[in-house]
């Protein structure tokens, strides 16, 4: 059906054009136009083929011209064409009428009276061609200045009332607008005078506009209801014809702020409101905003906004308001000098009031609509009044009201808008501290569904990390954790199981990173911050603690370091912040970790604390931490590989302890060596035991230097290594590599060099020979790495021997 219609239209247009061209052709002939034809004319060839008629100028020409032009213009009387196709005919007419106008001008030069001409064209039979011709003559008339522009224009705009058919009328008036543009009695124009001021120009354009709008609106109600969509599409195609008038008004020099305010805007708005047509209202409001200067909008804000609630409820007023706010935002950004103006006209309160009214007036407006309005207002506020946090908070507060009572997580579009709303202040201020001052910010976040709430929390954290913002008071930390609580703990009704493991890790790791941004150099404040953070993260549950506790521990250890700098000699034992108090806190905190199946991590953290306590000279505290570490080792660390690492950490830490008295040290050392010997695999045992040898020798000034116990350890290690070799023999039929022996040899050399009296060159020699024997025996396995190790050890010995001095002397007896 539709395609048939299109085909028909094509046919009619073709017919129309054919008729048009025929008459145009005749008209040209009458106008003697071969010399005047403009290049590119499609009729050029036709006319040139006709012999020039050297007729004297007489009225026959004119009359013919008028006759044929009227016939030509009759094609425009059609009702069968859609606006799009009608436009084609119109454009051709426009071109031809320009030629006609030139002809009229020539005629008046040759003595024809313009007044007569003006009257003559009115004899055309049909009204539409008559009026086109009249406007054309009118143009010449005004140019001739024989009558004031004002009078001619007034006459024309009223005569056009004769055409009430929407499409035809619109194009006719559009033609009038086009030809009158440069002839308005504007300020500074040649057509201004005693009769004819800019007021008249404005009046003319306003009238044309009003009539055109009426025609345009009338189109909506023409034809059957089922073709409504088609009509609306056609109307859309014509809208710029109507809007053009506003554009013309904006270009009139004489329309200053005063005139805009008093005359232009009220008249235009009156028409917009009264026409009660959704399409027109939306388009025209948008047009007004786009076409007139922002400065004017600012000064007429109340009037403009006042029209909004009067518009049809189906008009997308949100978009209109958003456009307005965007323009005003850009205007504000353009120069700082305009900002006071915004304050003076109270732009913010007017806009927020208008938005409130619109939302109120449309209770069925979906949430996404209201929120996107607030997003626009917020963007405006952030650009124009960034220092007015109270305004920003107000906007957020209005959103909270709108969101209250609605279910969460229903509308993903609305959610997106809320996220945009919350992200805007973050991006603008680049400083979470400012956002934290907005009391309504957390309230808005509360209205997000869980998933989005967490997404927003991550956005907040990312903003902090990206801007390297430090949060320096416990109060702000509190406020921040309130905002990100969705990440910190389970909110009612959401099990963590829902979340993908990788995502969960990433989430918690970002919380962990965040903790390092919560610092203050003042010890008291830092302590408050630590206790605040602790209080929050302990609500996180077993899955979160392994992520969030370590950074807290290290934060606290840093504070201990900071205190160390100040304390000394037991000063600072009293007061709100002492190392002891912090160690208590550390102890309790790490304990929670061990109860949630992260014993290895807890063990490491206990050892860190032990070292810190050592540095603070707190023997009992350090001992307690070691106790806890050992308990975890005994009871929780079952995996053999983990045990190896854990025991080395214990030995390594213990080796560095200086605070222990003999008894405590002995107890712990005994435990360490005991556990070392009990590791599952022999090589691991061996290595841990010889590592323990270092527990008896500390190379500091007051360090323990128990040479005998060192030797005992090394001997024990040697026995284990032997046993390992034998086992290998039994199991595999050949001995294992001699690596362990070489390692032990290196240790012997170490203590030998340090001056352990119990390790003599003889002992070393003996061990070297033992190794040589092992290597040469048939049953030994040759491992190139072990060989290389031995070789480099031998090289080392050689090197030391050649050193000369004390070292050389020491090594002298050893033969390689």
Partner 1 sequence: MVLVLALGDLHIPHRAPDLPAKFKSMLVPGKIQHIISPGNLCIKEVHDYLKSLCPDLHITRGEYDEDARYPETKTLTIGQFKLGLCHGHQVIPWGDLDSLAMLQRQLDVDILVTGHTHQFKAYKHEGGVVINPGSATGAYSSITYDVNPSFVLMDIDGLRVVVYVYELIDGEVKVDKIDFKKTATTH
> From the CB of residue 235, how many other CB atoms can be counted at a distance below 10 Å?
22
Question: Using CA atoms, how far apart are residues 288 and 266, in angstroms rounded to an integer?
Answer: 12
The span of 258-266, 351-359, 507-515, 619-627 binding partner 1 (CB under 8 A) equals 507-515
Q: Per rule CB under 8 A, is residue 788 in the interface with partner 1?
A: yes
From residue 297 to residue 336, the character string flagging contacts with partner 1 as x (rule: CB under 8 A) and all else as - is ----------------------------------------
**Using the rule CB under 8 A, which residue among 45, 638, 730, 785 binds partner 1?**
785
Query: Cα 194 to the chain's mean position, in Å?
Result: 59
CA Rg value for the chain: 47
Q: Per rule CB under 8 A, is residue 655 in the interface with partner 1?
A: yes
261 or 648, CB closer to partner 1?
648
SS (H, E, C) 358-401: HHHHCCCCCHHHHHHHHHHHHHHHHHHCCCCHHHHHHHHHHHHH
- For the bound state, the minimum distance from the C-beta of residue 614 to partner 1, rounded and expressed in Å, comes to 9
218 or 513, CB closer to partner 1?
513
Q: Per rule CB under 8 A, is residue 694 in the interface with partner 1?
A: yes
- For the bound state, the minimum distance from the C-beta of residue 306 to partner 1, rounded and expressed in Å, comes to 51
**Do residues 253 and 188 touch, judged by C-beta distance below 8 A?**
yes
- For the bound state, the minimum distance from the C-beta of residue 423 to partner 1, rounded and expressed in Å, comes to 21
The span of 76-84, 320-328, 408-416, 501-509 binding partner 1 (CB under 8 A) equals 501-509
- For the bound state, the minimum distance from the C-beta of residue 710 to partner 1, rounded and expressed in Å, comes to 13
From residue 526 to residue 565, the character string flagging contacts with partner 1 as x (rule: CB under 8 A) and all else as - is ---------------------x--xx--x--xx--x----
549 or 711, CB closer to partner 1?
549
Phi, psi of 223 (to 5 degrees): 80, 170
- For the bound state, the minimum distance from the C-beta of residue 516 to partner 1, rounded and expressed in Å, comes to 4
- For the bound state, the minimum distance from the C-beta of residue 506 to partner 1, rounded and expressed in Å, comes to 7
114 or 740, CB closer to partner 1?
740
Question: Using CA atoms, how far apart are residues 179 and 93, in angstroms rounded to an integer?
Answer: 13
Q: Per rule CB under 8 A, is residue 520 in the interface with partner 1?
A: no
- For the bound state, the minimum distance from the C-beta of residue 778 to partner 1, rounded and expressed in Å, comes to 25
Return the half-sphere exposure (C-beta side, CA atoms, 13 A cut-off) of residue 496.
Answer: 17
**Using the rule CB under 8 A, which residue among 154, 230, 543, 656 binds partner 1?**
656
Instruction: Classify residue 736 by its DSSP letter.
Output: -
100 or 593, CB closer to partner 1?
593
Q: Per rule CB under 8 A, is residue 19 in the interface with partner 1?
A: no
> From the CB of residue 177, how many other CB atoms can be counted at a distance below 10 Å?
22
Query: Cα 48 to the chain's mean position, in Å?
Result: 66
Q: Per rule CB under 8 A, is residue 94 in the interface with partner 1?
A: no
Residues 38 to 77 in contact with partner 1, rule: CB under 8 A: none
Q: Per rule CB under 8 A, is residue 796 in the interface with partner 1?
A: yes
Q: Per rule CB under 8 A, is residue 470 in the interface with partner 1?
A: no
Q: DSSP letters along 791-814, please?
A: HHHHHHHHHHHHH-HHHHHHHTT-
Query: Cα 2 to the chain's mean position, in Å?
Result: 45
Instruction: Classify residue 244 by its DSSP letter.
Output: H
**Using the rule CB under 8 A, which residue among 158, 262, 270, 506 binds partner 1?**
506
Q: Which two three-digit tokens encode residue 594? A: 């061990």
Q: Per rule CB under 8 A, is residue 681 in the interface with partner 1?
A: no
The span of 62-70, 190-198, 362-370, 793-801 binding partner 1 (CB under 8 A) equals 793-801
271 or 598, CB closer to partner 1?
598
- For the bound state, the minimum distance from the C-beta of residue 434 to partner 1, rounded and expressed in Å, comes to 21
Q: Per rule CB under 8 A, is residue 649 in the interface with partner 1?
A: yes
- For the bound state, the minimum distance from the C-beta of residue 548 to partner 1, rounded and expressed in Å, comes to 10
Instruction: Classify residue 502 by its DSSP letter.
Output: H
Spell out a b/e string for 281-290, using b for 16 or more CB atoms within 10 Å of the CB, else e: bbbbbbbbbe
Burial of 40 by CB count in 10 Å (0-12 exposed, 13-18 middle, 19+ buried)?
exposed
Q: Per rule CB under 8 A, is residue 487 in the interface with partner 1?
A: no
- For the bound state, the minimum distance from the C-beta of residue 231 to partner 1, rounded and expressed in Å, comes to 58
Give the containing element (helix H, strand E) for 187. Answer: none
**Using the rule CB under 8 A, which residue among 289, 793, 801, 811 binds partner 1?**
793
Phi-psi region at 805: left, alpha or beta (left = phi > 0; alpha = psi -120 to 50): left
Question: Using CA atoms, how far apart are residues 460 and 454, in angstroms rounded to an integer?
Answer: 10
102 or 596, CB closer to partner 1?
596
Question: Using CA atoms, how far apart are residues 159 and 131, in angstroms rounded to an integer?
Answer: 8
The span of 28-36, 253-261, 297-305, 788-796 binding partner 1 (CB under 8 A) equals 788-796
Q: DSSP letters along 425-492, please?
A: HHHHH--HHHHHT-THHHHHHHTS-HHHHHHHHHHHHHHHHHTTPPB--HHHHHHHHHHTHHHHSPPT
- For the bound state, the minimum distance from the C-beta of residue 691 to partner 1, rounded and expressed in Å, comes to 5
**Using the rule CB under 8 A, which residue among 358, 514, 530, 537 binds partner 1?**
514
Residue found under tokens 């008038």: 245
What separation in angstroms does the CA of 707 have from each of 117, 672, 703, 727, 764?
131, 18, 12, 30, 15
Helices vs. strands in the chain: H and E counts, helices first: 40, 0
Residues 718 to 777 in contact with partner 1, rule: CB under 8 A: 739, 742-743, 746-747, 750, 753
**Using the rule CB under 8 A, which residue among 34, 266, 442, 652 binds partner 1?**
652
Q: Per rule CB under 8 A, is residue 789 in the interface with partner 1?
A: yes
Q: Per rule CB under 8 A, is residue 512 in the interface with partner 1?
A: yes
- For the bound state, the minimum distance from the C-beta of residue 464 to partner 1, rounded and expressed in Å, comes to 9
Return the half-sphere exposure (C-beta side, CA atoms, 13 A cut-off) of residue 679.
Answer: 24
Query: Cα 388 to the chain's mean position, in Å?
Result: 22
Please say whether the dihedral angle defined by the alpha carbons of residues 705, 709, 713 and 719, taken in this order, is positive or negative: positive
How many residues touch partner 1 under the rule CB under 8 A: the total is 52
**Do residues 220 and 235 touch, judged by C-beta distance below 8 A?**
yes
Residues 587 to 616 in contact with partner 1, rule: CB under 8 A: 604, 608, 611-612, 615
Question: Using CA atoms, how far apart are residues 667 and 308, in angstroms rounded to an integer?
Answer: 85
The span of 181-189, 270-278, 310-318, 644-652 binding partner 1 (CB under 8 A) equals 644-652
Q: Per rule CB under 8 A, is residue 632 in the interface with partner 1?
A: no
70 or 557, CB closer to partner 1?
557
Please say whether the dihedral angle defined by the alpha carbons of residues 444, 445, 449 and 451, taken in this order, is positive or negative: positive
350 or 648, CB closer to partner 1?
648
The span of 253-261, 366-374, 574-582, 643-651 binding partner 1 (CB under 8 A) equals 643-651
Residues 347 to 406 in contact with partner 1, rule: CB under 8 A: none
Instruction: Classify residue 81 by its DSSP letter.
Output: S
Q: Per rule CB under 8 A, is residue 810 in the interface with partner 1?
A: no
Q: Per rule CB under 8 A, is residue 691 in the interface with partner 1?
A: yes
Q: Which residue intervals of 252-366 are DSSP H helices?
A: 257-259, 265-274, 278-291, 294-299, 301-307, 317-334, 339-344, 347-361
The span of 122-130, 165-173, 191-199, 796-804 binding partner 1 (CB under 8 A) equals 796-804
Q: Which two three-digit tokens encode residue 27? A: 């008209």
Binding stretches for partner 1 (CB under 8 A): 465, 468, 505-506, 509-510, 512-514, 516-517, 547, 550-551, 554, 557-558, 561, 604, 608, 611-612, 615, 645, 648-649, 651-653, 655-656, 691, 694, 698-699, 739, 742-743, 746-747, 750, 753, 785, 788-789, 791-793, 795-796, 799-800
């Amino acid at each position: 059906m539709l395609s048939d219609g299109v085909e028909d239209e094509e046919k009619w247009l073709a017919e129309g054009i054919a008729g048009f061209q025929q008459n145009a052709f005749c008209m040209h002939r009458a106008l003697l136009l071969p010399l005047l034809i403009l290049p590119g004319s499609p009729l050029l060839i036709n006319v040139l083929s006709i012999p020039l008629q050297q007729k004297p100028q007489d009225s026959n020409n004119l009359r013919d011209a008028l006759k044929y032009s009227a016939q030509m213009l009759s094609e425009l009387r059609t009702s069968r064409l859609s606006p799009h196709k009608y436009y084609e005919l119109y454009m051709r007419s426009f071109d031809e009428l320009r030629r006609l106008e030139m002809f009229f001008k020539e005629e008046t030069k040759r003595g024809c009276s313009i007044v007569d001409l003006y009257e003559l064209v009115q004899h055309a039979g049909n009204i539409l061609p008559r009026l086109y011709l009249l406007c054309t003559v009118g143009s010449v008339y005004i140019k001739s200045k024989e009558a004031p522009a004002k009078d001619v224009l007034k006459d024309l705009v009223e005569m056009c009332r004769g055409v009430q058919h929407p499409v035809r009328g619109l194009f006719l008036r559009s033609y009038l607008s086009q030809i009158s543009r440069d002839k308005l009695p504007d300020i500074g124009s040649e057509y201004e005078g005693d009769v004819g001021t800019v007021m008249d120009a404005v009046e003319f354009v306003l009238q044309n506009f009003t009539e055109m709008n009426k025609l345009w609106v009338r189109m909506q109600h023409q034809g059957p209801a089922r073709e409504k969509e088609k009509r609306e599409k056609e109307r859309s195609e014509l809208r710029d014809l109507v809007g053009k008038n506003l554009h013309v008004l904006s270009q009139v020099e004489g329309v200053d702020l005063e005139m805009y305010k008093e005359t232009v805007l009220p008249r235009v708005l009156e028409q917009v409101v009264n026409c009660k047509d959704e399409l027109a209202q939306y388009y025209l409001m948008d047009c007004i905003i786009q076409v007139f200067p922002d400065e004017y909008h600012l000064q007429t804000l109340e009037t403009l906004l006042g029209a909004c609630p009067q518009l049809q409820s189906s008009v997308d007023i949100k978009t209109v308001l958003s456009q307005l706010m965007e323009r005003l935002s850009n205007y504000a950004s353009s120069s700082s000098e305009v900002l006071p103006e915004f304050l003076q006209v109270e732009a913010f309160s007017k806009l927020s009031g208008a938005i409130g009214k619109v939302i109120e007036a449309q209770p069925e407006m979906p949430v996404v609509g209201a929120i996107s309005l607030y997003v626009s207002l917020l963007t405006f506020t952030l650009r124009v009044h960034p220092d007015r946090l109270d305004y920003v908070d107000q906007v957020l507060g209005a959103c909270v009201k709108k969101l209250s009572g609605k279910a969460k997580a229903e509308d993903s579009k609305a959610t997106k808008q809320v996220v945009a709303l919350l992200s805007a202040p973050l991006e603008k201020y680049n400083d979470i501290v400012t956002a934290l001052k907005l009391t309504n910010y957390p309230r808005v976040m509360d209205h997000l569904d869980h998933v989005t709430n967490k997404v927003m929390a991550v956005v907040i954290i990312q903003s902090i990390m990206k801007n390297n913002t430090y949060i320096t008071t416990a109060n702000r930390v509190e406020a921040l954790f309130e905002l990100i609580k969705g990440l910190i703990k389970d909110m009612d009704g959401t099990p963590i199981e829902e979340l993908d493991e990788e995502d969960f890790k990433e989430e918690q790791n970002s919380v962990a990173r965040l903790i390092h941004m919560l610092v203050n150099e003042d010890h008291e404040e830092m302590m408050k911050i630590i206790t605040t953070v602790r209080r929050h993260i302990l609500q996180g549950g077993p899955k979160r603690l392994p992520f969030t506790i370590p950074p807290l521990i290290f934060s606290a250890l840093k504070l201990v370091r900071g205190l160390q700098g100040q304390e000394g000699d037991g000063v600072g034992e009293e007061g709100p912040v002492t190392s002891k108090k912090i160690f208590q806190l550390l102890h309790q905190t790490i304990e929670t970790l061990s109860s949630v199946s992260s014993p290895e991590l807890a063990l490491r953290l206990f050892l860190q604390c032990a070292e810190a306590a050592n540095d603070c000279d707190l023997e009992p505290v350090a001992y307690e931490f070691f106790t806890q570490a050992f308990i975890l080792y005994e009871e929780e660390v079952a995996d053999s590989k983990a045990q190896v690492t854990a025991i080395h950490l214990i030995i390594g830490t213990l080796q560095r302890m200086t605070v222990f008295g003999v008894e405590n040290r002995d107890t712990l050392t005994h435990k360490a060596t005991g556990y070392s010997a009990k590791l599952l695999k022999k090589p691991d045992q061996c290595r841990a035991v010889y590592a323990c040898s270092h527990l008896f020798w500390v190379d500091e000034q007051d360090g323990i230097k128990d040479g005998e116990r060192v030797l005992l350890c090394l001997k024990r290690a040697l026995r284990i290594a032997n046993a390992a070799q034998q086992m290998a023999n039994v199991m595999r039929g050949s001995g294992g590599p001699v690596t362990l022996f070489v390692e032990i040899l290196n240790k012997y050399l170490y203590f030998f060099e340090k001056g352990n009296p119990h390790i003599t060159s003889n002992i070393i020699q003996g061990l070297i020979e033992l190794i040589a024997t092992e290597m040469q025996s048939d049953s030994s396995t040759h491992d190139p790495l072990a060989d290389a190790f031995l070789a480099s050890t031998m090289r080392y010995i050689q090197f030391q021997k050649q050193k000369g001095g004390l070292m050389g002397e020491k090594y002298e007896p050893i033969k390689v």
